């Protein structure tokens, strides 16, 4: 990227701008040229290059969650609060057992406790055991609890973030291994896969989307090597995404177009799973058919199993949602089986 050949050429509109007055310069043309010339590698070195790459696609927004350190800080705060709790309990117990009415009154009156609980006003027996008063402990305890609560909620939010998909992680790691944008010691984070989180929201069919993208890439390589056909790139890679990078190993599929293809595939699968069993059972229920009820039940069982597998593979449905959808699907098929069976019985009775 430091070679001159890798630098984007100076566009004609930029050259015109250098010799033109502000009033004659076409701002819209300049904006278009700036977007066209910008790539991930454009005038970027080090962390600027990393920022360009990771912001170029939502799948690349992967960072360390520091989950171990979150737990360690929480454990330390928990221990500190535990010590303060024990110290506070010891002070309360001392006031109860000391036999001094003034100290017992402080336990019942918060304002009085704040006014009278000063180290210079405390009995010698108290100062021999404690080096501060109850209001001082409460003040520190309040600060520690606020820190603990904030850290607890933030840690829960971090743990709720999803892990990057394997294919997305491989893409990011391969880029870091190839580009080496920063020194080796600052690249170690990419090797901690178990500690990486992604900022991208979970998709309903994320794993299936990845499978479709891999299939598109494999099909594109096959067509390109076989007949030099670029139809996959033309359909699923927009003009803007083609100019995102000069690296031929990086390709960006348009998310909207991939989502459209995935939705079409899922719709086709659901349609097939609904229509094919009905058609098969209808053919079996025709007059003169020799199929037994067990064969209809077998088709129903296999179809319901395939529907459940499809729901599990193509969506992120929860167990109860998967169970409800499979039960509804099975109920629809049972209705068709009973209707076709009743029609067959009526036809046989009429023929006799």
Report in angstroms the alpha-carbon separations of 43 from 6, 153, 239: 10, 40, 21
99: left (phi over 0), alpha (psi -120 to 50) or beta: left
- Can you tell me the distance from the alpha carbon of 192 to that of 204, in angstroms, rounded to the nearest whole number? 26
Q: How many domains is the chain partitioned into structurally?
A: 3
**Domain-located, residue 243:** no
**Domain-located, residue 187:** no
Handedness of CA 84, 89, 92, 94 (dihedral sign): negative
Predicted confidence at residue 17, as pLDDT, reads 31
pLDDT in tens, the chain (352 residues): 333 333 333 333 333 333 334 444 344 444 444 444 567 667 678 888 888 888 888 888 999 999 999 999 999 999 999 999 999 999 888 877 876 666 666 666 666 666 666 777 777 787 888 888 888 898 999 999 999 999 999 999 999 998 888 888 888 898 888 888 888 888 888 889 899 999 887 655 567 877 888 888 888 888 888 888 878 878 877 777 666 666 666 777 777 888 888 889 988 998 898 888 888 877 776 655 555 677 778 888 899 999 988 888 887 778 888 899 889 998 888 887 776 655 554 454 445 5
Predicted confidence at residue 334, as pLDDT, reads 83
Residue 149 neighbours by CB under 8 Å, 6+ apart: none
Is there a single domain that holds both residue 338 and residue 280? Answer: yes
Q: Which of 209, 212, 192, 191 is nearest to 200 (CA)?
A: 209
Q: Which structural domain, as residue segments, surrounds residue 14?
A: 1-37
Predicted confidence at residue 74, as pLDDT, reads 96
Is there a single domain that holds both residue 25 and residue 82? Answer: no
Is there a single domain that holds both residue 15 and residue 80? Answer: no
Q: Which of 141, 102, 97, 96 is nearest to 118 (CA)?
A: 102
**Domain-located, residue 44:** no
| Whether the Cβ atoms of residue 284 and residue 235 lie closer than 8 Å to each other | no
**Domain-located, residue 111:** yes
Is there a single domain that holds both residue 14 and residue 79? Answer: no
**Domain-located, residue 119:** yes
The domain boundary, picked from 160, 192, 210, lies at 160
- Can you tell me the distance from the alpha carbon of 54 to that of 76, in angstroms, rounded to the nearest whole number? 34
Predicted confidence at residue 86, as pLDDT, reads 94
Q: Determine the straight-line distance between the first and last CA of the chain, rounded to whole angstroms.
A: 87
Pairs from 227-234 (Cβ < 8 Å, separation ≥ 24): none
| Whether the Cβ atoms of residue 251 and residue 306 lie closer than 8 Å to each other | no
Q: Which residues of 90-103 are buried (b: 16+ CB within 10 A; e: fewer)?
A: ebeebbeeeeeeeb
Is there a single domain that holds both residue 79 and residue 147? Answer: yes
Structural tokens at position 296: 């209809």
189: left (phi over 0), alpha (psi -120 to 50) or beta: alpha
**Domain-located, residue 254:** no
**Domain-located, residue 154:** yes
Is there a single domain that holds both residue 17 and residue 85? Answer: no
- Can you tell me the distance from the alpha carbon of 344 to that of 246, in angstroms, rounded to the nearest whole number? 67
The domain boundary, picked from 136, 160, 184, lies at 160
Is there a single domain that holds both residue 282 and residue 324? Answer: yes
**Domain-located, residue 266:** no
What pTM was estimated for this model as a whole? 0.62
């Amino acid at each position: 990227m430091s070679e001159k050949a890798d630098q984007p050429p100076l566009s004609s509109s930029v050259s015109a701008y250098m010799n033109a007055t502000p009033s004659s310069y076409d701002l819209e043309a300049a904006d278009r040229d700036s977007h066209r010339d910008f790539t991930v590698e454009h005038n970027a070195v080090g962390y600027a290059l990393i920022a360009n790459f990771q912001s170029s696609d939502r799948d690349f927004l992967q960072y360390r969650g520091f989950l171990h350190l979150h737990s360690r800080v929480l454990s330390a705060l928990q221990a500190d609060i535990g010590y303060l709790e024990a110290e506070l309990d010891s002070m309360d117990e001392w006031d109860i057992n000391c036999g001094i009415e003034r100290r017992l009154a402080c336990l019942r009156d918060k304002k009085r406790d704040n006014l009278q609980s000063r180290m210079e006003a405390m009995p010698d027996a108290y100062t021999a055991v404690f080096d501060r008063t109850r209001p001082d402990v409460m003040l520190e305890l309040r600060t520690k609890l606020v820190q603990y609560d904030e850290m607890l909620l933030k840690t829960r939010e971090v743990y709720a973030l999803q892990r990057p998909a394997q294919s997305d992680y491989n893409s990011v790691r391969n880029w870091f291994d190839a580009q080496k944008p920063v020194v080796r010691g600052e690249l170690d984070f990419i090797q901690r896969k178990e500690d990486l989180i992604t900022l991208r929201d979970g998709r309903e069919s994320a794993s299936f989307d990845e499978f479709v993208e891999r299939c598109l890439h494999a099909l594109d390589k096959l067509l390109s090597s076989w007949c030099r056909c670029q139809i996959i790139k033309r359909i699923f890679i927009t003009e803007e995404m083609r100019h995102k990078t000069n690296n031929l190993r990086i390709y960006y599929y348009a998310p909207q177009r991939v989502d459209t293809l995935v939705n079409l595939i899922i719709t086709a699968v659901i349609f097939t799973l609904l229509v094919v069993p009905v058609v098969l059972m209808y053919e079996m229920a025709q007059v003169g058919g020799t199929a037994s009820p067990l064969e209809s039940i077998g088709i129903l069982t296999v179809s319901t199993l395939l529907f459940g597998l499809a729901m599990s593979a193509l969506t992120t449905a929860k167990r109860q949602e998967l169970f409800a959808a499979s039960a509804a699907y099975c109920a629809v098929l049972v209705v068709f089986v009973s209707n076709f069976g009743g029609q067959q019985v009526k036809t046989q009775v009429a023929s006799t």
